[in-house]
Amino acid sequence: MVGDTVAATNLGLCFRGTYYHVLASYDDGPVSRFGPGAAHLHDLMQYAIACDCTVFDFTIGDEPYKRDWCDEEMTLYDHVSGAGLRGHAIAGAVNAARGAKRAIKQSPVLWPVVLKVRTMVAALRKGTPSVE
């Protein structure tokens, strides 16, 4: 906390000697120039050490700050397969959708367009009353 401002916060779990840094959030207002995220991370590591954790796991995500702290990187994989005709069809559709999403996010041409469309859709939804 910085005054009444929540400058940095997180959700973390300690389990079997590992601290799992699941979710972190930092205020992007005026206090951000003082690096509350880095200060908070120092405190979290002190907490993990005090809890006898020997591993600090940043969990999933490839945010650049994680590389500043880590001496080891673990590649994660997804595997989807089906059993039977229906399962194979569903697995094929899921894999195709994931491949398309990955291609769009990695495209310097398509990704900005998708972001603009998402922003426009969100603005339209805001102006439209929700139906329950």
52-102: pLDDT as tens digits? 999 999 998 888 888 888 888 888 888 999 999 999 999 999 999 999 999
Question: Do 60 and 91 fall into the same domain?
Answer: no
Identify whether residues 13 and 61 lie together within a single domain: yes
Q: Give the tokens for residue 52.
A: 């006898």
Better pLDDT: 83 or 3:
83
Quick one: pLDDT band at residue 26, thresholds 50, 70, 90? confident
Q: Which of 69, 92, 115 is the last residue of a domain?
A: 69
Q: How many domains does the chain have?
A: 2
Cβ neighbours of 27 (radius 10 Å): 15
Instruction: Give bridge partners of residue 57 from the DSSP assignment.
Output: 20
118 domain residue, yes or no: yes
**51 & 90 share domain:** no
- pLDDT computed for residue 127 by the predictor: 75
In a domain? residue 58: yes
Task: Check: pTM over 0.75? Answer yes or no.
Answer: no
Does some domain include residue 77?
A: no
Domain coverage including residue 24: 8-69
CA distances from 54 to 37, 45, 70, 110 (A): 22, 10, 13, 42
Residue 50 shares a structural domain with residue 102: no
Asked if residue 43 belongs to a domain, the reply is yes
Q: What percent of the chain is predicted at pLDDT more than 90?
A: 58
Is residue 104 pLDDT above 90, yes or no? Answer: yes
Euclidean distance between CA atoms 11 and 22, whole angstroms: 6
